[in-house]
Amino acid sequence: MEDNTEVEELPEGLFKHISFQRIVINNTALKKVQPSAILPLKHLHVELGIQHSLLENFPFYILNQLQRLESLWLYNNSLTSIPAFKSDSLEILRLDNNKITRVEFDGWATPNLKKLYLFNNLLTSFPAFNSNSIELIWLYNNLLTSVPAFKSETLEILRLDQNKITSVEFDGWATPKLVRLDLDDNLLTYVPAFKSESLEILYLNDNEIESVDFDGWATPKLIRLDLYKNLLTYVPAFKSESLEILYLNDNEIESVEFDRWTTPKLRELYLYNNLLTFVPAFKSESLEILRLDNNKITSVQFDGWATPNLKKLYLYNNLLTFVPAFKSESLEILRLDNNNITSVDFDGWATPKLMQVDLDNNLLTYVPAFKSESLEILYLNGNEIESVEFDGWATPKLRELHLYDNFLNSFPAFKSENLEILRLDNNKITNVEVDGWATPSLRELNIAKNPLLKFPSAAIKGMKNLEKFYYSESNVGPTVSSGFLEFQSKALKLVTLWSNNISILDKDAITGLGPNTTVQLTNNDIVILSEEIFRPMLEILSAGDGVLFLDEKIVLYGRSLGSVPTVRLASERENLPGVILHSPLSSALGMVLRFTPWSVGPFAVTDLVPRITCPVPVVHGTQDEIIPNSHGRVIHDKCQQKVDALWVEGAGHNNMEAYPQFWRRFQPLLGAGTQGGNVAVSLRRERFYFVEVDELGLASSRHKLLDIPTINVDQF
């Protein structure tokens, strides 16, 4: 039975003729169960569940008659107390997520009960519990303040976390098979001597523990100990032949007595977020991960270190000023970022397996020659680096080099067979040497925010696998010359040139785009979209998921047949600065009846023109031999926001640009400096590409468009 909000009581004889092995009543309004309702199940091998309901009363006293009941699930109800009961068959009892404040354990007789779930209730105490069958007890998230001596020959997992326990009586415990004990998230201030021949995992984190009596501990099988997020200030000598993982992070530890530690199997040690100021010589044959980050460490005594299996060493966010010669046959990741390091003794390093070094956000001004047969990732960003001695570099496996946010003023020709990511952005680079550049595997290049005097076009051309190219905020403009960017990568996904003061793109300034390339030209000074320049790019991008981003204010320009989709699109857009209609078509029938200015039939543009809310200047030649001037006049009359039309005396359909008055008319709209040869993108054939243009001075509102809608003329 499920999702029934009508039945509040199980009536007598309900299961009289039922022989199911599992009965589940879920998400109902059930509050009470009549004993006679479930007694017919007494000879059946059954699992019974009444859950996510409103149960307040259950006949526990008849459970001894259900001779083959193995599992009873009464979780997520409104039970407040559990009386003493007997059951020889019950193995799993779920009473979690109720409102239970009392359990009468004294009279319990459940010789085969293995799993007891009482978490998420309101218990304030838990009596001494003796059981030689129980394997798992979950009592977390109650209101317990103390823990009695547990005695059980079979108990393996005990969860007491998320209570309000202030003390634990370990002395009287007898749990020879206990493997896991959860005491985290309580109010413990002290942990007394603890003895357990079986315990493997002990959680004591998120308490208020100030001290731990390690001397009296006897836990020969303990593998993991969590003491993080407490109030420890000192860690005394610690001995454990079995411990592999130790969490001491997020305390107030000022010193650790490493010299007297005996932890031959310790693999992971977490001491981050403490108050350590010094790390003495450290010896461990087994240690693989050591986290000392977010302390106040000013020096590390590397000379005496003996950690032959150490793979990860984290020392970031400390107060180190110098990194001495460092030797490790096993180290793979070294994090030294966010310190005050001014120099690194790379010459003395001996780290044959080192794959990643983080030295970012320090005070380095110079990087000497660096040699590593294994290094793959190097972070040097956020320093004050003025020069790097690349001549002596030997890093054949380097995949990522991060040098952004520094003070480099030049960058030499770089050779690397495996380099995939190179970040040089936000430096002071004026020159990049091209001759000899060879990075055939480069996928991402960022040289943004640099005052380059000469762009390394030849180097870009040779990057056959380039996916992302960043060159924003670098004062590329006002004119981008032909051949500026000649991409030859079929994998190209992103090109960013925003905020570069670009106003003019010469023909073939950007070539090699792919159908799925995103081109960002936002925040520039482009006000005219030349068909000769932009149509080739747009035709390529429209073949896939490519996008051209220009800017937030746009002027739509529709010429000839292109006026049809232009008007259609403008009628559906708000906050456009303006729409220019050049030799527009009023309707298809008007074209058939050539000199009849009727607006009927297909392509009825004049039906849509009144819906356009922005200014619509119309320009039309008086001698247009393709679309008569009368079409333009009809459209002009229908405009909601009329502006002066331009009737160019003597102009035909294809020679309008030859008349000076054409350019003079639209300079206020398109911005100063408009030159004759550059026209807004002319949309005359199969598709209309909607793009964005920067500050046109016609409207103060801003309308952001994030893609290039493509509309087929056939749709109209």
Does residue 478 have a cis peptide bond before it, meaning omega lies within 30 degrees of 0? yes
What is the rounded average pLDDT of the residues 56-70? 89
Lowest-confidence region among 112-116, 268-272, 523-527, 545-549 = 523-527
660 C-beta neighbours (distance < 10 Å), count: 10
Distance between CA 408 and CA 646 in Å, rounded? 54
448-497 per-position pLDDT tens digit: 999 988 888 888 988 999 999 999 999 898 999 999 999 999 999 999 99
What is the rounded average pLDDT of the residues 645-663? 86
Above 60 in pLDDT, residue 699?
A: no
Confidence of residue 305 (pLDDT cuts 50, 70, 90): confident
Mean residue pLDDT across the chain: 84
Confidence of residue 366 (pLDDT cuts 50, 70, 90): very high
Strands annotated E in 156-262: 157-159, 167-168, 180-182, 190-191, 201-203, 211-212, 224-226, 234-235, 245-247, 255-256
**What is residue 667's predicted lDDT score, i.e. its pLDDT?**
56
Above 60 in pLDDT, residue 19?
A: no
Class at the top of the CATH hierarchy for domain 555-715: alpha beta
**What is residue 554's predicted lDDT score, i.e. its pLDDT?**
61
Above 70 in pLDDT, residue 144?
A: yes
**What is residue 290's predicted lDDT score, i.e. its pLDDT?**
96
Above 60 in pLDDT, residue 669?
A: no
Query: Would you list the domain boundaries of the chain?
Result: 408-525, 555-715
At residue 304, the 3 state secondary structure works out as helix
What is the rounded average pLDDT of the residues 131-146? 94
Give every CB contact of residue 78 below 8 A, 6+ residues apart in sequence: 31, 54, 55, 56, 98, 99
Between the alpha carbon of residue 53 and those of residues 6, 47, 298, 700, the distances in Å are 12, 17, 59, 59
Contact 426, 407 (CB under 8 A): no
Chain centroid to Cα 441, Å, comes to 26
Lowest-confidence region among 52-66, 291-305, 412-426, 672-686 = 672-686
More confident residue, 497 or 686: 497
Lowest-confidence region among 41-45, 208-212, 358-362 = 41-45
What is the rounded average pLDDT of the residues 615-641? 90
More confident residue, 311 or 571: 311
What is the rounded average pLDDT of the residues 510-537? 84
**What is residue 8's predicted lDDT score, i.e. its pLDDT?**
64
**What is residue 258's predicted lDDT score, i.e. its pLDDT?**
81
528-587 per-position pLDDT tens digit: 667 778 888 888 888 888 888 876 556 777 888 878 877 887 887 777 777 888 898 887
Distance between CA 17 and CA 470 in Å, rounded? 75
More confident residue, 424 or 504: 424
Q: What single letter denotes the amino acid at residue 554?
A: I
- In this structure, is the dihedral angle defined by the CA atoms of residues 527, 528, 532 and 535, taken in order, positive or negative? positive
Lowest-confidence region among 184-198, 224-238, 359-373, 526-540 = 526-540
**What is residue 42's predicted lDDT score, i.e. its pLDDT?**
66
Q: What percent of the chain has pLDDT over 70?
A: 85
Highest mean pLDDT among 3-7, 163-167, 547-551, 558-562 belongs to: 163-167
Contact 278, 256 (CB under 8 A): no
What DSSP line would sit under 474-504, residue for residue? S---SEE-TTSEE---TT--EEE--SS---E
What is the rounded average pLDDT of the residues 418-436? 94
What DSSP line would sit under 20-51, residue for residue? -SEEEEEEE---EE-HHHHGGGTTS-EEEEEE
- The most distant pair of C-alpha atoms in the chain lies apart, rounded to whole Å, by 111
340-354 per-position pLDDT tens digit: 999 988 888 889 999
What is the rounded average pLDDT of the residues 24-52? 80
What is the rounded average pLDDT of the residues 60-69? 88
Highest mean pLDDT among 77-86, 163-172, 533-542 belongs to: 77-86
Provide the phi-psi class of 497: left if phi over 0, else alpha when psi is between -120 and 50, else beta: alpha
Confidence of residue 4 (pLDDT cuts 50, 70, 90): low
Confidence of residue 689 (pLDDT cuts 50, 70, 90): very low
Lowest-confidence region among 464-468, 562-566, 622-626, 689-693 = 689-693
Highest mean pLDDT among 33-37, 200-204, 496-500 belongs to: 200-204
**What is residue 465's predicted lDDT score, i.e. its pLDDT?**
96
Above 90 in pLDDT, residue 174?
A: no
